[in-house]
């Protein structure tokens, strides 16, 4: 996703949901999040790659469960809030983006 001027490009609903899911995945903090996005280009592709990342190592990487993120999306949406990802993007996710 390219940015225009000082504003970052808008995220698709699927990518915004995938970013939230990636951020909520075990062993994924802000630094790992940025590294995964740099390596795989999107959160969706990063989530697909997670199971293979820890193979042979001490850690097992897995994506946060979709149903848990759906509940979080609903709660945040009801509160009228936005998420802020480590790259400073505000993300608003509609429930329809989840399916």
Tens digits of per-residue pLDDT, 6-21? 555 677 889 889 999 9
What pLDDT was estimated at residue 44?
A: 96
Position with higher pLDDT, 14 vs 87: 14
Position with higher pLDDT, 88 vs 21: 21
What pLDDT was estimated at residue 78?
A: 86
What pLDDT was estimated at residue 77?
A: 82
Q: Say how far apart CA 7 and CA 52 lie, in whole Å.
A: 34
Is the model's pLDDT at 22 over the cut of 60? yes
pTM flag (> 0.85): no
pLDDT band at 28 (very low <50, low <70, confident <90, very high): very high
């Amino acid at each position: 996703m390219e940015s225009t001027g000082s504003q970052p490009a808008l995220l698709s609903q699927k990518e915004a949901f995938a970013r939230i899911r990636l951020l909520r995945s075990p062993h994924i903090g802000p630094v790992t999040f940025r590294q995964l996005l740099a390596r795989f280009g999107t959160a969706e592709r990063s989530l697909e790659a997670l199971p293979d990342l820890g193979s042979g190592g001490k850690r097992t990487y897995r994506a946060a469960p979709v149903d848990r993120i759906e509940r979080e999306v609903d709660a945040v949406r009801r509160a009228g809030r936005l998420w802020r990802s480590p790259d400073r993007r505000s993300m608003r996710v509609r429930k329809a983006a989840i399916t």
